[in-house]
């Protein structure tokens, strides 16, 4: 059947009524989008849908601002499907510009993936595009625009696929909790500001009073040397988020903290909360004071249950938890931002008249040695003033200007050379902690696959690379830092969460619920460095922005290990479209995901089965990082079309 939509009653945001009207009330799309949008996402069920994308004003902060909406709501409607069915979605564009919808985390033909320039041309003004694909999975996912900055202005929504078989974790109530960030500023202006002054939105910079405090606590000499180190790097130890609460309001299902989105329960019930981080740029730390959570799925995939109290949720990740409140009282759903500049808030309550105390924001955490890529070093032998600059190589930096602000993602293939790739092996001598200014740099292929010998003691776990090598492309104006000693950090809660008195969930705590989802033995390895120049706001893989990068090519059905090294001091949620990412946890354990949050200075590896032919996007899911160049195309091709040197394969 075809699912129409009708929006629920008007809601109030910070005391301001938002008009909500729908096609189901007899309005045409033009009339619908001429009115104000409304907050709160209706849920649509079925297998055939009509989705209308258009512009409308919303009022979240006291003034009307333009938004991009689906069927007139912010967030877009939550779509609820069933595994095993085939869904058909007619998407009509009522905007004056091209639009698109990407189904984040879904396995589908690449032509349905919704990335203009890779999988299709986009949906032009006045056009209708029909998405149709079978549902080969279940779980919690989401969808969003992959055109320009439309995701930032409201084109995102939750997506739930119920399993074909009964869910092993039965619950009494089930809520999608969509977290997002909203700005009254035009996102084009935000991006232009970041390109001109990357720390513009950081209002937690160190002050004279902080320096005086450091003099008392650390001494004058050490304080001055620390200040000199940060000044040389042209970085700030409080630089945790590019866009902060100075510009953003943080939302739960389209509601500001003052609007206080509510979820009802009765004491003794089991409630599933499906957290979806649909923000453009914001990493959230989630907790429900007074109530433990049990995780049962991440990124839509079932995991062995783990009880915890708090977790960090990267942009584009999803987390299913079960809570069992016993008392007749309210609980606050508290999601503070990683930089502590604001929070999203909702309430779990048995009575709409009840609310719970909202915790105070934590102090702003400070970046340190671990975030500088010094996690694998022995700090005890370094001394306070010697370590950072000796293990971080800034000597070959070229601070000449490069500006990718005008990069157009509308046609991602135009002007690019997609010739053959060279997967010759790379030499990995021991060079942790070395200054590369004194070394010659071989002209390495920055997309190179690294052959290896199978480990004799465990043939299913080939040895990882232990050293760090940087290619020539990482020495230029687009890279202002290289981690000389990155370290595994899967069991690290992360900056600002390491000293908690309660359980903080980490990747190391989790494991795919049904054993190994695929082989732990890859055929080859590809190493990619996450690189950038924060001052110039340039982002890339291996120092090469998308506009200059060749695609990564994978054989159809091969098993590949991707190793990521974060050379920057920022978190990067890395998302590969169309293919599962099986994070290697050690001891032969895997965690199946679609998005991986890579910490500053971290090195991690995951396995990919290239089982879907086509052209797939691969990028950082921080919207402005992707726009600034941290994007690649991944091509899965038949083996006879692969152009790499066969002799380089083990």
Give the three-state DSSP class for 86: strand
**Phi, psi (deg, nearest 5) at residue 370:** -60, -40
Contacts of 645 (CB under 8 A, 6+ apart): 422, 423, 424
Q: What is the pLDDT of residue 370?
A: 77
Q: What is the mean pLDDT of residues 100-127?
A: 98
Residues in the chain, total: 650
Q: What is the pLDDT of residue 534?
A: 87
Q: What is the pLDDT of residue 615?
A: 98
Confidence of residue 401 (pLDDT cuts 50, 70, 90): very low
Contacts of 405 (CB under 8 A, 6+ apart): 191, 192, 195, 628
Confidence of residue 386 (pLDDT cuts 50, 70, 90): very low
Q: What is the mean pLDDT of residues 596-602?
A: 96
Q: Where are the beta strands (DSSP E) in 556-613?
A: 559-566, 572-576, 581-586, 589-593, 595-598, 603-609
CA distance 46 to 639: 39
DSSP state of 386: T
CA distance 171 to 570: 37
Confidence of residue 227 (pLDDT cuts 50, 70, 90): low
Q: Alpha-carbon dihedral of residues 163, 164, 168, 169, nearest 10 degrees?
A: 40
- Among the ranges given (310-314, 368-372, 632-636), the one the predictor scored with the smallest mean pLDDT: 368-372
Q: What is the mean pLDDT of residues 467-491?
A: 88
Confidence of residue 481 (pLDDT cuts 50, 70, 90): confident
pLDDT digits (tens, 9 = 90+) for 291-346: 999 999 999 999 999 999 999 999 999 999 999 999 999 999 999 999 999 999 99
- How many Cα neighbours within 13 Å face the side chain of 280? 30
Closest to 345 in 3D by CA, of 268, 265, 241, 263: 263
Give the three-state DSSP class for 50: strand
pLDDT value at 436 more than 50: no
**Structure-model confidence comparison of residues 284 and 225, the more confident one:** 284
CA distance 370 to 375: 5
Q: Long-range contacts made by residues 402-408, C-beta under 8 angstroms, separation at least 24? A: 402/477, 402/478, 402/536, 402/538, 403/195, 403/536, 404/538, 404/545, 404/547, 404/628, 404/629, 405/191, 405/192, 405/195, 405/628, 407/545, 407/546, 407/547, 407/627, 407/628, 407/629
Strands 301-308 and 293-298: antiparallel
pLDDT value at 5 more than 50: no
Both tokens of residue 538?
């340039």
Closest to 573 in 3D by CA, of 536, 540, 534, 599: 599
Q: What is the CA angle 505-506-507, rounded to 5?
A: 135
CA distance 417 to 540: 17
**Structure-model confidence comparison of residues 549 and 11, the more confident one:** 549
Alpha helix (H) ranges present in 370-507? 387-391
Annotate 135-186 with three-state secondary structure.
Answer: CCCCEEEEEECCCCCCCCCCCEEEEEEECCCCCCCCCCEEEEEEEEEEECCC
Is residue 201 a contact partner of residue 246, using CB atoms and an 8 Å limit? Answer: yes
Closest to 179 in 3D by CA, of 276, 257, 247, 263: 276
Rg of the chain over all Cα atoms, to the nearest angstrom: 24
Q: What is the CA angle 162-107-604, rounded to 5?
A: 105
Both tokens of residue 515?
């054993």
Q: What is the pLDDT of residue 333?
A: 98
pLDDT value at 37 more than 60: no
Sheet holding 301-308, edge to edge: 248-252, 173-183, 271-277, 318-323, 293-298, 301-308
Q: In the chain, what are the helix, strand and coil shares in percent, each to the nearest 5?
A: 10, 35, 55
Q: What is the mean pLDDT of residues 23-43?
A: 56
Give the three-state DSSP class for 381: helix
CA distance 181 to 281: 7
DSSP state of 250: E
Q: What is the pLDDT of residue 124?
A: 98
Closest to 155 in 3D by CA, of 187, 191, 112: 187
- Kindly state the greatest CA–CA separation across the chain: 73
Tell me the CA distances in angstroms from 87 to 261, 378, 570, one per residue in order: 30, 54, 38
């Amino acid at each position: 059947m075809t699912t129409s939509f009708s929006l629920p009653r008007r809601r109030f945001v910070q005391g301001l009524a938002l008009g909500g009207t729908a096609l189901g009330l007899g309005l045409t799309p033009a009339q619908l989008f001429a009115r104000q949008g409304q907050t709160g996402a209706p849920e649509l069920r079925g297998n055939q849908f009509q989705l209308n994308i258009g512009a409308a004003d919303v009022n979240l902060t006291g003034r009307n601002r333009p938004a991009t909406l689906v069927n007139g709501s912010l967030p877009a409607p939550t779509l609820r499907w069933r595994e095993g069915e085939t869904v058909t979605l007619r998407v009509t564009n009522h905007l004056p510009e091209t639009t698109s919808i990407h189904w984040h985390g879904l396995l589908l033909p690449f032509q349905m993936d919704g990335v203009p320039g890779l999988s299709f041309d986009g949906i032009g003004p006045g056009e209708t595009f029909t998405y149709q694909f079978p549902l080969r999975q279940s779980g919690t996912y989401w969808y969003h625009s992959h055109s320009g900055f439309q995701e930032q202005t409201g084109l995102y929504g939750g997506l739930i696929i119920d399993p074909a078989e009964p869910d092993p974790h039965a619950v009494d109530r089930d809520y999608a909790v969509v977290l997002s960030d909203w700005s009254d500023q035009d996102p084009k202006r935000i991006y232009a500001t970041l390109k001109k002054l990357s720390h513009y939105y950081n209002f937690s910079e160190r002050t004279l009073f902080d320096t005086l405090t450091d003099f008392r606590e650390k001494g004058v000499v050490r304080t001055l040397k620390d200040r000199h180190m940060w000044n040389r790097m042209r970085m700030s130890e409080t630089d945790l988020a590019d866009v902060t609460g100075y510009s953003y309001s943080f939302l739960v299902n389209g509601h500001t903290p003052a609007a206080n989105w509510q979820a009802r329960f009765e004491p003794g019930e089991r409630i599933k909360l499906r957290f979806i981080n649909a923000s453009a740029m914001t990493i959230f730390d989630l907790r429900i004071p007074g109530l433990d959570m049990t995780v049962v799925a991440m990124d839509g995939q079932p995991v062995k249950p783990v009880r915890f109290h708090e977790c960090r949720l990267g942009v584009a990740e999803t987390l299913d938890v079960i809570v069992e409140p016993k008392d007749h009282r309210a609980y606050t759903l508290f999601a503070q931002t990683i930089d502590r500049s604001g929070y999203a808030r909702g309430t779990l309550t048995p009575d709409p008249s009840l609310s719970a105390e909202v915790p105070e924001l934590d102090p702003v955490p400070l970046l340190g040695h671990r975030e500088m890529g010094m996690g694998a070093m022995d700090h005890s032998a370094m001394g306070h003033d010697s370590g950072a600059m000796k293990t971080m190589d800034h000597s070959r930096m070229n601070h000449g200007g490069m500006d990718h602000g005008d990069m157009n993602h509308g046609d991602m293939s135009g002007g690019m050379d997609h010739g053959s790739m060279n997967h010759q092996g790379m030499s990995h001598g021991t060079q942790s902690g070395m200054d590369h200014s004194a070394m010659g740099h071989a002209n390495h292929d920055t997309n190179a696959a690294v052959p290896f010998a199978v480990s004799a003691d465990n043939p299913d776990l080939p040895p990882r690379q232990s050293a760090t090598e940087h290619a020539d492309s990482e020495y230029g104006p687009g890279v202002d830092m290289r981690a000389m000693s990155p370290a595994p950090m899967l069991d690290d809660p992360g900056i600002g969460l390491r000293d908690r008195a309660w359980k903080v969930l980490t990747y190391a705590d989790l494991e795919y619920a049904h054993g190994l989802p695929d082989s732990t033995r890859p055929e080859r390895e590809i190493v990619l460095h996450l690189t950038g120049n924060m001052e110039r706001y340039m982002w890339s893989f291996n120092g090469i922005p998308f506009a200059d990068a060749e695609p990564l090519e994978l054989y159809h059905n091969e098993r590949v290990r991707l190793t990521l090294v974060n050379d920057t001091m920022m978190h990067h949620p890395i998302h590969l479209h169309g293919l599962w990412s099986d994070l290697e946890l050690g001891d032969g354990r895997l965690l199946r995901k679609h998005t991986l949050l890579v910490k500053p200075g971290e090195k991690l590896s995951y396995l990919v089965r290239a089982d879907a032919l086509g052209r797939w996007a691969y990028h950082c899911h921080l919207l402005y990082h992707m726009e600034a160049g941290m994007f690649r195309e991944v091509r899965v091709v038949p083996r006879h079309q692969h152009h790499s040197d066969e002799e380089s394969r083990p």
